[in-house]
Amino acid sequence: MDEDFRTLEFTPDGLRMIDQRLLPGVLEYCTAASSEDVASAIREMIVRGAPAIGAAAGYGVYMALLEAGDDRELFLRKCGLIRNARPTAVNLMWAVDRMMRKAEGCGYSPELLKAEADAIVREDIEANHALSKAGLAVISKGDTILTHCNAGALAACGWGTALGVIKEAHRSGMEISVYADETRPRLQGARLTAWELMRAGIPAALIPDSAAAVLMRGGKIDLVIIGADRIAANGDTANKLGSFMLSVIAKEYGIPFYVAAPLSTIDSATPDGQSIPIEERDADEVRCIEGISIAPAEMPVYNPAFDVTPHQNITGIITERGIIYPPFGRNIERIKSGEKP
Ligand code: MRU
C-alpha cells in the first residue's frame, strides 16, 4: 500500500518531490530544477524527514556538479548552500559529504555521482525494511504504540523508520493499534502520519500532543516508537520537538521508549546531545495554523524544531543491523564497526 507513491525521484526536469506542505489535502509533486531549488525545498520543508532530506541533498549535489562544470569553487559553494539548508538532521551533512567525497574520488564524473545519489535512495529503503523487521522483536501481539511527528515513507525514501516498524507489525498480523501525536506546530502527525496510517489501514487515532500523558498514565500505551534526526555517540537523540517530553512521561510510567533510525542518522562525531545544533524556525509557524493567525501578530515566540532525548530515557535504538541497547556509547561503536548487537 505504501509503495504507491514516491517521496522523491530524479527526472530529466530535476528532482521531483511530493510537496509535503500540501498533504493531506492534495497529493501534488513539485520539481526542483536547480541545486538552489533543492536547498530551498529542504529549508521550506517541501521535503522533510531526516533520510528524505539526505536523499534530496544527494541529488542536489549531482545537480550542483552539472551546473558548475569545471568550476570547483562554484561546486563547493553550491554544496555548502545545500549542506546548510537545515542544521539538525545529520543525514543532510552525511549525504552531502558522501557525495563530495565521491565526486573527488571519481574524477567529478556526473554519471558516477548520479549513481551515488541513486545508491543513497536504494540503501535507505533497504535499511528501512531491515530495521522494521528488527523492530518486531520489541512488539507483542495486540500492543498499542504511540508515535510522534512523521517517520514514515514520506520522511524517508520509502517505507519509513518508526512508522516502518509499525507497518511491518501490522502486516505481520500482530493486531497493533496506534496513537499518533498531532505534532504542533507543523502538524506532521496530523497531516502526514495520519495520512500514511489511513492508507495502510492500520487502526489508529490522532491525539492532541498534550493527551499523551493521560494515555500513558491510564495504561493505554504499551510502547513508544519515534524516529530520529541525529543520534549522538552516547545515544542522546534529537528528534521532533515533544519527543523529550514523551520520554520523560514514558519513564515515569515504565513504558518502553524506542528510537528507530538507520545508521546514517548516528553521528559518531557528535559526542552528546548538548553538541547537537537545534534548529529554531519562524515565529509564524506557532502564531499561525495553515496561514490563519491564532495569536497576536507581534507576540514573541520560541520555536525550536527539535529537542534532545537523553540516552537514559531510551530503551533501545532500532537499526538495520539490529537493536542497540545500553550502554549506548560502546554498543553504537560496535554496531557501526560491523559487529552484531
Ligand atoms: O522537521 P521535520 O518534519 O523534518 O522533522 C522530522 C522528524 O523529526 C522525524 O521524526 C525524523 O526526521 C525521523 S524521519 C524518519
Ligand 1: which residue has its CA nearest to atom 10? 227
In this prediction, residue 1 has a pLDDT band, given cuts at 50, 70 and 90, of very low
Tell me, using a 6 A CB cutoff, whether residue 131 lines ligand 1: no
pLDDT tens for 164-211 read 999 999 999 999 999 999 999 999 999 999 999 999 999 999 999 999
Asked if residue 281 has its Cβ within 6 Å of ligand 1, the reply is no
Q: What is the DSSP string of 299-323?
A: -----BSEEEE-GGG-SEEEETTEE
Q: Which atom of ligand 1 is nearest to the CA of 45?
A: 4
Q: Give the Cα separation of 113 and 118 in Å (integer).
A: 9
Nearest-10 crossing angle of helices 50-68, 72-83: 160
For the chain, give every domain's residue range: 8-128, 134-336
Probe target for ligand 1 pocket from 240, 267, 286, 306, with the most ligand atoms within 8 Å of CB: 240
Q: What is the DSSP letter of 280?
A: B
Residue 4 neighbours by CB distance under 10 Å: 7
Active-site entry in 143, 181, 209, 229: 229
pLDDT, one tens digit per residue, over 36-84 is: 999 999 999 999 999 999 999 999 999 999 999 999 999 999 999 999 9
Ligand 1, atom 15, lies closest to the CA of: 151
CB 335 less than 6 A from any atom of ligand 1: no
312 grid coordinates:
537514559
**Which helix (H) or strand (E) is 288 found in, with range?**
strand 288-289
pLDDT score at 3: 58
Average the pLDDT over 232-261 and give the result. 98
Helix, strand, or coil here: 18? Answer: strand
Please state the rounded mean pLDDT for residues 12-25: 97
With respect to CATH, is domain 8-128 assigned 3.40.50.11540?
no
Write out the DSSP string of 135-198.
HGGG--TT-EEEE-S--BGGGSSSSBSHHHHHHHHHHTT---EEEEE--TTTTHIIIIIHHHHH
229 flagged as catalytic: yes
Q: From 7, 239, 244, 264, give the residue whose CB has the most ligand 1 atoms within 8 Å, as the site to mutate.
A: 239
Q: Is 156 in the pocket of ligand 1 (CB under 6 A)?
A: yes
Superfamily for the 134-336 domain: Translation initiation factor eif-2b; domain 2 (3.40.50.10470)
Cell numbers representing residue 161 in the block: 523508520
Reported as a single tens digit per residue, the pLDDT across 266-288 is: 999 999 999 999 999 999 999 99
Ligand 1 center to 30 CA (angstroms): 20
106: its cell numbers? 571519481
pLDDT of residue 290: 86
From the CB of 240, is ligand 1 less than 6 Å away?
Answer: yes
The per-residue pLDDT for range 286-331, each reduced to its tens digit, is 999 989 999 999 999 999 999 999 999 999 999 999 999 999 999 9
